[in-house]
Amino acid sequence: MESSVPCAATVSDGIAAAGLPAMRPRRRLRGLTLLALVLALLPLGFVNDYVADVAVLIALNAIVCVGLNLLIGYAGQISLGHAGFFGLGAYGSALLATHAGVPPLAALLAATALVGVLAALVGGPILRLKGHYLAMATLGLGIIVSIVITTEDRLTGGPDGMAVPPLTIAGFVVQGERAWYWILAGCLLAAVWLAQNLIASPTGRALRALHTSEVAAELAGVDSARHKLIVFVISALFAAFAGGLAAFHAGFVTPAKASFLHSIELVTMVVFGGMASTFGAVVGAAVLTLLPQLLTALKDYEMVVFGALLMATMIFFPRGIVPTLSALWQRWRR
């Protein structure tokens, strides 16, 4: 039953030890460089601004999903309220830029930071909850945010939403889908880079540890409460930043962005693409943002086909698209 234990491999120690660390960084960046390549080549396929617009929406959702994947996939903390942070980032940026006259870029960064602070304050007590209770608490948080946005219509324009001034960076007004695409592609690359770095660091390992056994992680010295809060705030910052960008890109924002249906949509993208897989989050966001655009021809049958596709994928790819495909790729390559 017990594996045959070879005597300590003295000879190859030196080589293996020396070889191992050097090889790892090059492999880690390979994924990032390929994503950069894809993002660079994509505009060749932009037949018109509409396709570019869809690509921008995919990048926006992908940024949120990469952050959310850290929380759900790696740290195992379910959140059904991240559209609330997305909405706060959007409305925060819009309100600061319009009513407070703050320059758009500063408004975006300030709103994101404020949402981070809010996430830190709220995260403490909420993250003591586990599993479905945590899901409900975050769902409730998101709903409270969307109700406040809808009800304070003097400030936010209520359910009909509000207009958002254009984004200016260093004096240049960001206009045109292509300009927006390059900005979002850059932000997505940065998001993936930050996420990958975090995962491959002691903090990343601590998060993965507390996902499977919180007590064993604690006994390894991991302050699980603090680490859960860290990843909760980081994912909230990703969502708020993407929310702000989305508001400036669309030039308009409605409370639907903060609704619990949007939260569920984001979690579905993460699980669909593959939990504990940064590229899974990107693929999940891409497929589930693109699908509604492709299924419009089905008119009344769109929801039926979308629901069926979602169920079929989760049944046959239970760990999500990318982990399942990469496992097949491993088995096929060997």
Partner 1 sequence: MNFRLAAGKLVRAGAIAAAVALPVTSWSADEPLRVGAFLSVTGPAAFLGDPEQKTLEMLVERINATGGVAGRKLQLFVYDDAGDAEKARTFTKRLLEQDKVDFLVGGSTTGATMAAIPLAEQSGTPFISLAGAVGIVEPVRKWVFKTPHTDRMACERIFTDMRERKLTKLALISGTGGFDKSMRAECLKVVGKYGIEIVADESYGAADTDMTAQLTKIKATPGVQAVLNAGFGQGPAIVTRNYRQLGLTPALYQSHGVASKEFVRLSGDAAEGVRLPAPALLVAELLADNDPQKPVVVAYKRDYEARYKSEVSAFGGYAYDGLMLAVDALRRAGSADRARLRDALEGTRGYVGTSGVVNMSNTDHMGLDLSAFRILEVRGGNWVIIR
Partner 2 sequence: MGSQALQFLAAGLTSGSIYALVALGFSIVFLASRVINFAQGEFVMIGGMAASSLVSVGMPLAAAMAIAVAIAAAVGLVLEKLAIERASRADVTTLVIITIGASMLLRGIAQIVWGKGIRSLPPISGEQPIAIGGATILPQSLWVLGTTIAIVAALSWFFGRTRLGRAMLATAHNRLAAQLVGIDVKLVLFASFGLAAALGAVAGMLIAPIGFTSYDTGVMLGLKGFAAAILGGIGNFHGAIFGGLLLGLLESLGAGFVSSAYKDAIAFVVLLGVLFVRPDGILGALRSDRV
Partner 3 sequence: MTTLVVRELGCSFGGVHAVAGLSFEIAPGTVHSIIGPNGAGKTTLLNLLTGVYVPTSGSIRFGAHELTGQPPHRYAAAGIARTFQNLQIFFNMSALENVMTGRHRLERTGLLAAMLHTPRLARAEAECRERALEWLRFLELGDAAERDADTLPYGALKRLEIARALAGEPQLLLLDEPAAGLNPSEALGIAALIRRVAATGTTVVLVEHNMRLVMEVSDHILVLDHGKRLAEGSAEQIRSDARVIEAYLGAASEAHAAGEASADA
Asked if 3 interacts with partner 3 (CB under 8 A), we say yes
Q: What is the dihedral of CA 223, 228, 233, 238, to 10 degrees?
A: 130
Asked if 263 interacts with partner 1 (CB under 8 A), we say no
Structure tokens at 183: 């900005």
Asked if 8 interacts with partner 3 (CB under 8 A), we say yes
For residue 322, the partner it binds in partner 1, partner 2, partner 3, none, with Cβ less than 5 to 8 A by kind, is partner 1
Asked if 204 interacts with partner 3 (CB under 8 A), we say yes
The number of beta carbons lying within 10 Å of the beta carbon of residue 229 is: 19
Residues 241-270 vs partner 2: string with x where CB under 8 A?
-------------------xx--x--xx--
- Going by C-alpha positions, the residue among 260, 278, 284 that lies closest to residue 80 is 260
Give the count of residues interacting with partner 1 (CB under 8 A).
Answer: 61
DSSP, collapsed to helix, strand or coil, labels residue 276 as coil
For residue 257, the partner it binds in partner 3, partner 2, partner 1, none, with Cβ less than 5 to 8 A by kind, is partner 1
Residues constituting the chain: 334
Asked if 228 interacts with partner 3 (CB under 8 A), we say no
For residue 55, the partner it binds in partner 2, partner 3, partner 1, none, with Cβ less than 5 to 8 A by kind, is partner 1
Place of tokens 């959310």: 68
Cα 231–Cα 233–Cα 236 angle in degrees, nearest 5: 110
Scanning residues 170 to 199, which ones bind partner 3 (CB under 8 A)?
194, 197-198
Scanning residues 70 to 109, which ones bind partner 2 (CB under 8 A)?
72, 78
Binds partner 2 by CB under 8 A, chosen from 136, 174, 179, 225: 136
Task: Output DSSP code: residue 4.
Answer: P
CA–CA gap between residue 254 and residue 97 (Å, rounded)? 16
